[in-house]
Amino acid sequence: MNNINIIYEDNHLLVVEKPINIPVQEDSSKDKDLLTILKEYIKHKYNKPGNVYLGLVHRLDRPVGGIMVFAKTSKAASRLSEQIRVKSFKKIYNAVVIGNVCDSGTLVDKLLKDTKKNIVKVDPNGKESILKYKLLKYKNGLSLVEIELLTGRSHQIRVQMSNFGHPLVGDHKYNKNAVTGHQIALFAKQIEFIHPTTKKLLTFSIPLPDRYPFNIFNS
């Protein structure tokens, strides 16, 4: 099953670690996508006939890895989607950015997507986009930051941090000085939400990947 790390599973939810460079759902590349892989996993594990339902309630960009939750029932999908809509679903990311970021703050921008070029830009006609950031460590001209997304726009962290003057290491779309061969330094570290049926608060967190540039902050 492509060695997908299953973090938590019950009758309603499937929490996994998305590998880097795998699309969440089928795209124009026609490469194997995470949704299809997980449906095959459920079909095989539970010997289910016919099509398997698995609801996609949030996304990660293809080059970004980290934690995601999928819904195994339509009711769970609806309830999780509602939590995202009312902003009670918490998403925490870690990123490594260029320069020394000041301690903490909030970025508010209007972002507009250019679907033809598949880029997002800051534009007065765009949708309001909000994130909170906090400096965790600074080393070798790079900052390890924690980011909480308060809105879920496409490429939001990448565009807002670049516009802030601190583009992500390895972001070849929004960092004009990105080094060829470097993976984008963005990782979905933690999610927190209410279980759709038990109503318990669930928090899932995974360690940062042991690769550049995250690993320079280990020492």
Quote the pTM value.
0.93
Mean pLDDT of 132-145: 97
Mean pLDDT of 138-147: 97
Asked whether the predicted pLDDT for residue 193 surpasses 90, the reply is yes
* pLDDT range class, residue 24, cuts 50, 70, 90: very high
Find the angle CA(47)-CA(49)-CA(54) to the nearest 5 degrees.
Answer: 85
* pLDDT range class, residue 103, cuts 50, 70, 90: confident
Mean pLDDT of 151-161: 95
Active site residue 109: no
Rounded-to-integer distance, Cα 83 and Cα 152, Å: 12
Asked whether the predicted pLDDT for residue 90 surpasses 90, the reply is yes
* pLDDT range class, residue 1, cuts 50, 70, 90: low
Q: Is pLDDT larger for residue 1 or for residue 67?
A: 67
- From the candidates 31, 33, 61, 114, which is the catalytic residue? 61
Q: What is the pLDDT of residue 63?
A: 93
